[in-house]
Amino acid sequence: MHVRSRWVAMVLALSAGMVMMQAHAVVPVLVIHGGAGVIKRDMDPATQKAIRAKLREALEHGYAQLKAGKPALDAVTAAITVLEDDPHFNAGKGAVFTHEGTNEMDAAIMDGSTLRAGAVADVGHVKNPILLARAVMEHSPHVMLAGQGAETFAREQGIPLVDASYFRTEYRWQQLQKALKRDRLGQHQDEEAEGHFGTVGAVALDTHGHLAAGTSTGGMTDKRWGRIGDSPIIGAGTYANAGCAVSGTGWGEFYIRTVAAHAICMRVAVMHEPLKQAADEVINREIPKLGGDGGAIVLGADGSFAMPFNTSGMFRGWIGADGVPHVAIFADEHP
Ligand code: ASP
């Protein structure tokens, strides 16, 4: 090779290397929630400790994927499966009961860089609904599957199915009994006090600068008539695009009516609102104005994030450059 062309080739190789380094220079971030609601301060210390430990475990498990250069989708899936397997959260094992005493779970996942999405609703035997949502996205021509059809697809995909009794916890059963008693007495369900908390979600930014979001839930205690909440509805409880990823938790009907997750991302993309402001507008103004409540986790492609909520607490946490998991439960904690 001519000396000059060798020199040119060397400069080109060096600059290509720098571009590649830049492409891999994004510092990954993972943010999770374990549900918003009234979380009592007198929750016994052992339960609090166990929940905080599980949030940390989910963050570490998810972040290991990001550190290994894996896609944001892998971090979201890894973090959520840890929480689905833990009985403290209203997702997978420990899901809340329907009016009829069954567990009907919903989940969704979305890849921000491609806008691909997968969701499942009303599944009663899928051990980890988030894995089925991901399979719907990756191995079916559809976005959302429900009920028996979703479980047939799970079987075909080799996604673990379990007996319905696997999901049962005494705590959630007693929650249903209280709700049924209120129904019998004709008392209005105080959603704020009892209805929801424990849904799980994750948003992640990977080393390639790609975002993903996922949410998994048992829905709301005492739900009836095949009710489906916001979590599996793309744009309501779960959404991700190239600039913003959201997972919501709260009174789902209001998240559907405000198309909450999509609304937050559109405020960022179209109205150029700072991420925190956009999240605050939807979660702390639009939703309460209609009578709803809850929270969300929101992550931007620049690594900035917000965790707004208007309930007395939200199980939540994040992990970034230093690799140290930060977790919190109550409103006055700043993780
Ligand atoms: N948003 C969920 C639902 O309405 C419940 C929750 O977040 O706790 O199904």
Q: Lowest-pLDDT range, 238-242, 274-278, 306-310, 329-333?
A: 329-333
Q: Is residue 154 within 6 Å of ligand 1 at its C-beta?
A: no
Nearest CA to ligand 1 atom 7: 249
Q: Is position 222 within any domain?
A: yes
pLDDT at 34 over 70: yes
222 backbone φψ class: left, alpha, beta (φ>0; ψ -120 to 50): left
Q: Which residue has the higher pLDDT, 16 or 264?
A: 264
Tell me if 231 CB under 6 Å of ligand 1: yes
In a domain, 20, yes or no: no
> Residue 6: pLDDT above 90?
no
Assess whether the C-beta atom of 207 lies below 6 angstroms from ligand 1. Answer: no
For residue 186, what pLDDT band results from cuts at 50, 70 and 90? confident
Q: What is the DSSP letter of 93?
A: T
Q: Is the pLDDT of residue 128 over 50?
A: yes
The three-state (H, E, C) secondary structure of 23-76, written as one string = HCCCCCEEEEEEEEECCCCCCCHHHHHHHHHHHHHHHHHHHHHHHCCCCHHHHH
DSSP 251-318: -HHHHHHTTHHHHHHHHHHTS---HHHHHHIIIIIIHHHHT--EEEEEEETTS-EE--B-SSEEEEEE
Question: Comparing 6 with 213, which gets the higher pLDDT?
Answer: 213
Flag whether 203 is in a domain.
yes
Instruction: Yes or no: say if 143 and 117 are a contact pair by the CB < 8 Å rule.
Output: yes
| Other beta carbons within 10 Å of 162 | 14
User: What average pLDDT does the chain have?
Assistant: 91
CATH code of residue 312:
3.60.20.30
Domain assignment of residue 249, given as a range: 27-330
Active site positions, annotated: 199
Q: Pocket of ligand 1, candidates 96, 189, 220: which has the most ligand atoms within 8 Å of its Cβ, to mutate?
A: 220
- Give domain status of residue 5, yes or no: no
CA 6 to centroid of ligand 1, rounded, Å: 61
The answer for residues whose C-beta is within 8 angstroms of residue 286's C-beta and 6 or more apart is 258, 260, 263
Residue-wise pLDDT tens digits, 22-32: 455 799 999 99
Given a contact cutoff of 8 angstroms between Cβ atoms, the answer to whether 82 and 88 are in contact is no
Confidence of residue 191 (pLDDT cuts 50, 70, 90): very low
Res. 142: pLDDT tops 80: yes
**Tens digits of residue pLDDT in 220-246:** 999 999 999 999 999 999 999 999 999
182 falls in which pLDDT band (50, 70, 90)?
Answer: confident
- Amino acid 39 reads I
Q: In percent, how much of the chain has pLDDT > 70?
A: 89
Q: How far is CA 92 from CA 19, 34, 55, 87, 162, in A?
A: 42, 12, 15, 8, 11
Q: How far is the CA of 256 from the centre of ligand 1 (A)?
A: 11
pLDDT band at 183 (very low <50, low <70, confident <90, very high): confident
What one-character DSSP code corresponds to residue 195?
A: I
- Cβ of 201 closer than 6 Å to ligand 1, yes or no, is no
What number does the ligand 1 atom closest to the CA of 249 have? Answer: 7
Q: Is residue 194 part of a domain?
A: yes
| Range name among 36-45, 296-305, 316-325 with the lowest pLDDT average | 36-45
| 134 in Cβ contact with 110 (< 8 Å) | no
- The mean pLDDT value for 283-309 works out to 97
Structure confidence at residue 259 (pLDDT): 98
**In the chain, how many domains are there?**
1
| Structure-model confidence comparison of residues 12 and 236, the more confident one | 236
For 228, the 3-state DSSP assignment is coil
1 within some domain: no
pLDDT of residue 8: 52
How far is ligand 1, taken at its centre, from the CA of residue 69, in Å? 31
- Report which protein residue has its CA nearest ligand 1's atom 4: 252
> Does 302 map to a domain?
yes
CA 197 to ligand 1: nearest atom:
8
The answer to whether the CB of 247 is under 6 A from ligand 1 is no
Q: 212 CB under 6 A from ligand 1?
A: no
The answer to whether residue 13 is domain-embedded is no
Ligand 1 centroid to residue 294 C-alpha, Å: 8
